[in-house]
Structure 1
Amino acid sequence: MRRVLAGLAAVAVLAAAACGDGGTDEPEAGTTTAPKGDLVVLAAASLTEAFTRIQQDFRAAHPDLQVTISYGGSSALAQQITAGAPADVFAAASPATMQTVVDAGDAAGDPAVFVRNQLVIATAKGNPRGIRTLGDLRKPGLKVALCAEQVPCGAAAKKAGVDVEPVTLEQDVKAALAKVKLGEVDAALVYRTDVKAAAADVDGVEFPESARAINDYPIVALRNAPNPSAAAAFVAFVRSEKELRVLTDAGFQKP
């Protein structure tokens, strides 16, 4: 009997050793590995303030991940992606610019609309030129900045029926807003979120025509993402209820 028990004990020791050999290198079945490494996100300029907060939240949740977000005009970012620029996620300010990436085969799956945004008229603080309506932008001598038509904020302005001769056409909404803040123009067509973020420097004038041109914002992980697991995690994080509150607090509308 002692020999049998000794033999069973030896077998148990060998089995435990076999299970333990290299066991720390493999995750247990059913577990997932937290994303780590580098994540590159290309995002519409109008997302700057909200995504800066979301970036902080995402980094807090994934401390082993280095997150870089580059902001710009959606059309320019889409061109960079289709030209082969390395990136993991694209967040655009309109479905049309996102479609450029989809048509080129650079999207990993279907883009999802995560927020919406609406145009307002940005004026200098105190609205010194007394702009109350869209038609007021045609007052003689009034200097107006618009986004270029290929940029989502420019396309939205056209769809809203804006008929103004601008003194400048900008390549993203932040550049148009900067013209107002610097006093180079009297007004600019920008998003509600931009005016809210710059409330210390500008005022916003709502106009009913903007309801015809509310922009949907889609997001997608990219097909050639260098870090696909982190890309998928970031897209899911942006669409979570917690981060939707961050976006709506910034002035975005729910999809």
Structure 2
Amino acid sequence: MMKKILAVLCLAALAGGAWVALRPAKGSATPLMVFCAAGIKQPVEEIAAAYQKETGIEVRLQYGGTGTLLSQIKVAHQGDLFIAADDGALADAKKMGVTREEFQIVRQKPVLAVAAGNPRKLGSLAALKQEGIKLALPNPEAASIGRVAKKLLGAEWDALAAKAAVMKPTVTEIAADLSLGAVDAAIVWDSTVPQFKGLEKVELPELAKHAEFATAAVLDSSKQPSEALKFGRYLTAPDKGGAAFNKQGFTSVPGDAWVARPDLVLYSGSVNRTAIEGVLQQFATREGISISTVFNGCGILCAAMKTMEDSANPKYPDVYYACDICFVPPVAHRFPEAVMLTEAEIVIAVPKGNPNNIQTLGDLARPGLRVGLCNAEQSTLGFLTQSILKSMNLLESVSKNASSQVPTGDFLVNQMRTGSLDAVVVYRINIMAKPDEFEAIPLPADKSKAVQPFAVREDSAHKQLGRRLLAFLREHRDSFEKAGFAWRGETTPVKSADIVLPDWLKQK
């Protein structure tokens, strides 16, 4: 460990950097260690000071070129957050396996910086190659802006580099040279220009259409991920970090409204409970938040949302994990996009040995048979069952035998266990835990699958938190498969308005 720490100190010395520690607050907890791209030093330092004052948590900041910082992180494998200046650096960090959750902070564009008034009339790559023009470039091996510009300019970069007056490891160093008059121009981020007096930007056509995001990522090495995530939320909150970035000329990416300990409201169909309950607890613990969960039939959940209507109601769900895709269209105006996360099979469940020799849904219409169905108004399973039976012209005949109609499949299984029902239509998941008591009779293949979509409310104050929950759920595929679901979580999101249901499944 001592060797790793010494290595980090050596790298920091070579980069001209050192840990910047704000004055510790009395009784503060373990300090947060943040590796930060030099180009956003000023606003991050201001935000860190405000955060420490507000929370009592000390923030220690190490500045440098993004490439240099990544080398330090790789060697030491310690720290809590890494703030990369561009998408490529973040991708490198991912490949190295050193990052977890991400927070996009600001959007930046590469530009040419010149002295105010552009006295040398520099507005093109050709002009930069003129005799007597002193150009400063960022080192592409150390600084993100250098790597981005080199990739965009190709051979033109090589020509500029061959005549550059200076090449330095951070964007702030070359901007400082320009501000002091030591050079005539420098390639920097657009957000760098307002941080130095006497500079203005010139957009080069070769660079103008490109933008990158500066992103904060929690490090895998963090021993206090909850505190790291909390600071990440603070960095991106529009009324906290976002305001500081905007004030200093950056274009911030709006995060969630600041709450020290957010409460995420989740509505979920009851069938999903066994798969996600434990994962939700892990997520809440890691994020340092609370999650208010409501598990019920999706008919009841949609009715509750319709009754509240105003999504400003604090009980209105931030995220919604439905039992089937057919219960997304009724709330599509609040949840305009969904990810098909899992799939569950609908079956006829009967006691072990199938004493009544039930083989098809038509058999459920036999006189005297006691059948259990879920309530079509209250649950997804009930609605799906009703739609399936109606499409096969069996609804009336089977319903005559339906001695029980309840909100969830678990209730039906319990009633069959007591001997009060002969057969029930449920999810296969409902009987998985009791293979010695029950067996499943499959339904027609084209009507036996329920697909569970996960959606984040568009106007939620915790939208980014909801998206991180989705990412966390995707990391725990095994939890869903152990519960009996088929995994579909790698699919791309779909627009709720574009969901097309078969005619037999459409809600009237």
TM-score interval w.r.t. the shorter chain? 0.7 to 0.9
Please state how far the C-alpha of 1:125 moved relative to its aligned partner: 4.7
Residue of structure 2 equivalent to 1:112? 339
Task: Write the deviation string for residues 91-149 of structure 1: whole angstroms up to 9, x where unpaired.
Answer: 111222111111xx212x41111111111122235544443443332333211111223
Query: Distance between the aligned counterparts of 2:440 and 2:412, measured in 1?
Result: 15
1:43 aligns with 2:268: yes
The question of whether the paired residues in 2 share the 8 Å contact of 1:86 and 1:225 is answered with no
Is the CA contact 2:346–2:428 (under 8 Å) kept in the aligned structure 1?
Answer: yes
| Cα offsets for 1:24-78 (capped at 9, x unmatched) | 435866326626421221100111111112223323432x111232110111111
Note if 1:218 corresponds to 2:447: no
Equivalent residue in structure 1 for 2:369, among 142, 161, 165:
142
**Structure 1 residues 23-32 or 155-164, which shifts more?**
23-32
- Identity value in percent: 21
1:169–1:201 distance in 2 versus 1, CA, 3 Å: farther
Query: Given that residues 353 and 439 in structure 2 are in contact (C-alpha distance below 8 angstroms), is that contact kept between their aligned partners in structure 1?
Result: no
On the 8 A contact 2:345/2:450 being kept in 1, the answer is yes
- After superposition, give the CA deviation of every residue in 1:170-205 in whole Å (9 maximum; x if it has no partner): 223333333223332122100011111x41674132
Structure with greater contact order relative to length (CA < 8 Å, sep ≥ 6)? 1
1:244 matched to 2:461? The reply is no
**Distance (Å, rounded) in 1 between the aligned partners of 2:469 and 2:356:** 43
Alignment of 1:150-229 (within 5 A): 150=377, 151-157=379-385, 158-159=387-388, 161=392, 163=395, 164-165=398-399, 166-196=402-432, 198-199=433-434, 202-229=437-464
The 1:214/1:137 distance shift into structure 2, 3 A limit, reads: same
Q: Equivalents in 1 of 2:47, 2:481: separation in Å?
A: 47
Confirm or deny: 8 A CA contact 1:131 1:205 kept in the other structure.
no
- After TM superposition, the score normalised by the length of structure 2 is 0.41
Name which of 275, 281, 284 aligns with 1:59: 284
Query: How many residues align structurally?
Result: 234
Q: What is the distance in 2 between the residues matched to 1:155 and 1:75?
A: 8
In the aligned structure 1, how far is the partner of 2:305 from the partner of 2:358?
39
**Conserved in 2, the CA contact under 8 Å of 1:122 and 1:180?**
no
Please give the alpha-carbon distance, in whole angstroms, between the structure 2 residues aligned to 1:21 and 1:235: 31
Deviation sequence 1:196-241 (CA, Å, 0-9, x none): 1x41674132324154241111111123434333222112222x1x
- Amino acid aligned to 1:233: R
1:90–1:220 contact (8 Å) kept in structure 2: yes
Which moved further from structure 2: 222-231 or 86-95?
222-231
**Residue 124 of structure 2 aligns with which residue?**
none
| Correspondence for 2:317 among 87, 94, 105 | 87
Residues 69, 126 of structure 1: alpha-carbon distance in 2 compared, 3 angstrom cutoff: farther
Match of 1:124 among 326, 329, 351: 351
* SS in structure 2 of the partner of residue 193 of structure 1: helix
Alpha-carbon spacing, 1:215–1:22, altered in 2? closer, same or farther (3 Å): closer
Hey, what's the Cα distance between the residues in 1 that align with 2:343 and 2:303?
A: 22
| Secondary structure, counterpart of 2:451 in structure 1 | strand
Cα distance in 1 for residues equivalent to 2:21 and 2:403: 77
Work out which of the two has the higher radius of gyration on C-alpha atoms and give 1 or 2.
2
Please, which runs of 5 or more residues in structure 2 have no aligned partner?
Answer: 1-19, 23-41, 52-58, 60-82, 84-213, 218-227, 231-260, 309-314, 489-508
2:319–2:457 Cα contact (<8 Å) kept:
yes
